[in-house]
Structure 1
Amino acid sequence: MSINPEPQPHPDTYFAGAYWGPRKESPEECARRVARFLELLAECDPFLSHWYKPTRSRRDATKHPLMPPDVSILAEMLRKGANRERGGPAIESLGFGLSFDNGGTRRDCADLRIYCGGYSEAVPNSCFLSLPSEGENAERIFTASVLTNIVRCMAVAWEPDWVAAMSRTHRDWDDPESKADLWLGWVTYLARQRGTVPPLPAPAAIEPVDDKGMLIILTPERFTVANPEHVALARRVRELLTRAGLIRH
């Protein structure tokens, strides 16, 4: 699967990642999407309601808030994050990138990495949200209801092809197993153009996201690859989605 790389994290951390193909958009258009996403994300949990510009020192991080989001500031950050040859002009087809976090500590922090506006097949667009690995915030966020809301926000703001929210342990189990064009997360979003989601076995649930696509929630309890029932369910759902043409190899 060819996607943007990210650093090797603690193996039990969770993330939500949205991915979409070539879509030419200006820094202003991308900034409006970023602003909309941050506004929606803030409604999911208080921990996700404050974000800060990158700084050289973490002591200064909270001096440069990004909330409430300002489209002009975000557009300028995106322009500075354009892909370019060293000392050369921006490579327009590769789009723009920016990253920032919510000012938390090492294991109690949320981090956003966004690549958007690109229209080259070589570099997909994405919005990747790393979530805290331990503590009260992590326990509160790692629930089906909160992760479902986060995935829904990504679907509405970015209109991606697919979104997955899951632990990295789950991802590492799922990816070698399938070699498919997406991860099947604890919570997954599939855009309408991918096809129609078939009936799925309980306890998996399906929810619409406006007229954009469908959410799939594998279990109401926390999904873990240590639970053989969860593993069997994920394999069955993947098989059904593959058969329906929504997951492609």
Structure 2
Amino acid sequence: MQDKYYLGAYWGPRKETALECARRGELFFHMLARCDPAFAQWYRAGRGFPRELPGWPVRPEMKELEAFFLKGRLRTDVGKEVIEELGFSQMVWNAKKEAIMITFSCGGYSWGGPNSCLVSPIGKSVVWDRLVHSPVMTEVLTSMATAWDPDFAMASSSQMVDLIQKRKREVRVGWLTYLSRRLGTLPPLPAPVRIEPVGALGWLLTLSPEPMTADNPENVALTARVRELLDRAGLIERPQPGPASEGHE
């Protein structure tokens, strides 16, 4: 089975307004546009958009993004009241066919689910295949880490995650892995792992310049070894969910 690659950034409860999420989103979209032309324009859902377009164009401007996130507030089934602690959830995509999508969950301060930013293809995509096998993925992951300040981020395949992950809630390790300094102190890691700082926020670990596949025993063994060393250093285990009133930032 062919590996299905994606990039994901995750962070715990962080109470932020739509405007604060928009500031992060503005930075993210601008950084992303510099990574590759495929990331230059994004679209959102909505009635009445021009039929020749994939959706309504999203302009990476703070006020527009604030309104965009406000439309993504989660509400109760009865009464349609805003559930503030769950923050904002939205999605954008970049093309009509063979599209790449980004899903956002941000501003949440409940343990009901993590805040995240995910980048993945919608079905098969020649563009995505090109990007996955290029240095662009490092730039995209760095953009995610810089803009959203997550606890961790990684580029991997769902198949590799299934093989390597040991607990339901833990820091995931991919062929590219970002770890925030908030998690702890990075231990020595074996060759050929390369470690680079991401500003003052954290570290980027590169296990391989190419995507690692779940059917390659050497790829699996190296990823599992790095996960084990990070786990011994206390960087893998994440806090267990608690009452919504706990752990707010």
Answer yes or no: same fold by TM over 0.5.
yes
1:160-175, aligned counterparts within 5 Å? 160-175=150-165
How many residues of Structure 1 are paired with residues of Structure 2 in the alignment? 236
Letter in 1 for 2:76: E
Q: Hey, what does 2:235 align to over in structure 1? A: 246
Deviation, structure 1 residue 81: 1.1
Aligned partners of 1:16 and 1:128 also within 8 Å:
yes
Match for residue 92 of structure 2 among 83, 89, 100: 100
3-state DSSP of counterpart to 2:57 = coil
Q: Hey, what does 1:236 align to over in structure 2? A: 225
3-state DSSP of counterpart to 2:213 = coil
CA distance in 2, matches of 1:144, 1:236: 24
CA distance in 2, matches of 1:155, 1:55: 29
CA deviation vs aligned residue, 1:200-249 (integer Å, no higher than 9, x gap): 11111111100000011111233112221111111111111111111117
2:141 paired with 1:155: no
Taking structure 2 as the reference length, the TM-score comes to: 0.87
> 1:135/1:119 Cα in 2 relative to 1: closer, same or farther (>3 Å)?
closer
2:2 paired with 1:33: no
Letter in 1 for 2:186: V
Aligned partners of 1:144 and 1:217 also within 8 Å:
no
Q: Hey, what does 1:72 align to over in structure 2? A: 63
Deviation, structure 1 residue 25: 0.9
1:31-70, aligned counterparts within 5 Å? 31-55=22-46, 59-62=51-54, 64-67=56-59, 69-70=60-61
Q: Hey, what does 1:127 align to over in structure 2? A: 117
CA distance in 2, matches of 1:135, 1:53: 19
3-state DSSP of counterpart to 2:178 = strand
CA distance in 1, matches of 2:53, 2:158: 27
Letter in 2 for 1:160: P
Q: Hey, what does 2:197 align to over in structure 1? A: 208
Taking structure 1 as the reference length, the TM-score comes to: 0.87
> 1:121/1:96 Cα in 2 relative to 1: closer, same or farther (>3 Å)?
same
Deviating above 6 A after TM superposition, structure 1's stretches of 4 or more consecutive aligned residues are: none
Letter in 1 for 2:105: Y
2:197 paired with 1:221: no
Letter in 2 for 1:92: E
Q: Hey, what does 2:80 align to over in structure 1? A: 88
Aligned partners of 1:144 and 1:222 also within 8 Å:
no
> 1:88/1:136 Cα in 2 relative to 1: closer, same or farther (>3 Å)?
closer
Deviation, structure 1 residue 63: 5.8
Aligned partners of 1:209 and 1:215 also within 8 Å:
yes
Unaligned runs of 5+ in 1: 1-9
State, as a whole percentage, how many aligned pairs show the same letter. 44
Unaligned runs of 5+ in 2: 239-249
Letter in 2 for 1:96: F
1:177-216, aligned counterparts within 5 Å? 177=166, 179=168, 181-216=170-205
CA distance in 2, matches of 1:213, 1:161: 9
